[in-house]
């Protein structure tokens, strides 16, 4: 069984200790950090999501899997950040109001840090005014909004409208992402860009 399959299985079991051992082992064996994320951790989380949807896995198990994923990401963070020490622009990132999903957002933040951006992560369940207040504090070139629920997609739109109302909309590039988001929705809510995953989000910001 490959180390990636073992990571996927341990994530499904929510075994954070085993994840830590396996992720470190994969790194020691010379596997690329991004490959460990995609082929091990995210692959495992996709199975968790599918079984949760099918009703064969429940919230406590999903939370354990999420904790195990965070443990794996913590171990991989230095390897991903070491890839680039160049100092680029600043990004403010957070999950929108009503939404507590943060694993994808954390991964996006790690990738931006790894690419040399200064990252201000304001966490989850942020009201539009929380984003505006944080913008006033950090004055970033970019804002990244994350939403994982179809019910919190409108909060993304309200957040962008809050920037228009505050007079900041043309001063900052707003990028959006998360499982239910797509390029059409991004255009509809007047975002500057949509990225389907963490690597594309960084690539997109670099082209702007």
SS (H, E, C) 77-131: HHHHHCCCCCCCCEEEEEEECCCCCCHHHHHHHHHHHHCCCEEEECCCCECHHHH
Backbone angles phi, psi at 184, to 5 degrees: -65, -45
Binding segment toward ligand B1M, per CB under 6 A, in 4-12, 25-33, 127-135, 143-151: 143-151
Nearer of residues 28 and 172 to ligand B1M, judged by Cβ: 172
Nearer of residues 1 and 59 to ligand B1M, judged by Cβ: 59
CB of 159 to ligand B1M, least distance (A): 12
Find, among 72, 137, 147, 140, the residue nearest to 110 by Cα: 72
Task: Examine residue 80 and tell whether it contacts ligand B1M (CB under 6 A).
Answer: no
Task: Examine residue 62 and tell whether it contacts ligand B1M (CB under 6 A).
Answer: yes
Distance CA 192, CA 176 (A): 8
Task: Examine residue 177 and tell whether it contacts ligand B1M (CB under 6 A).
Answer: yes
Contact positions vs ligand B1M (CB under 6 A): 42, 45-46, 48-49, 52-53, 59, 62-63, 66, 98-105, 107-108, 144-146, 148-151, 175-180, 195, 197-198, 201
């Amino acid at each position: 069984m490959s180390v990636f399959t073992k990571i996927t299985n341990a994530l499904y079991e929510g075994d954070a200790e085993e994840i830590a051992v396996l992720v470190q082992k994969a790194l020691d064996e010379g596997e690329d950090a991004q490959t460990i994320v995609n082929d091990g951790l995210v692959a495992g989380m996709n199975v968790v999501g599918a079984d949760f949807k099918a009703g064969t896995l429940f919230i406590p198990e999903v939370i354990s899997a999420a904790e195990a994923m965070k443990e794996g990401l913590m171990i991989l963070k230095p390897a991903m950040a070491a890839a680039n020490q160049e100092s680029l622009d600043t990004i403010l990132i957070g999950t929108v109001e009503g939404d507590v999903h943060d694993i994808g957002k954390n991964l996006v933040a790690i990738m931006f840090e790894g690419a040399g951006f200064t990252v201000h992560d304001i966490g989850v369940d942020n009201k539009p005014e929380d984003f505006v207040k944080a913008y006033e504090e950090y004055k970033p070139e970019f804002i990244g909004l994350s939403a994982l629920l179809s019910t919190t997609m409108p909060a993304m739109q309200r957040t962008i409208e809050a920037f228009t109302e505050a007079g900041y909309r043309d001063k900052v590039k707003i990028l959006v992402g998360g499982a239910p988001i797509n390029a059409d929705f991004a255009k509809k809510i007047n975002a500057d860009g949509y990225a389907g995953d963490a690597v594309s989000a960084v690539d997109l910001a670099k082209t702007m």
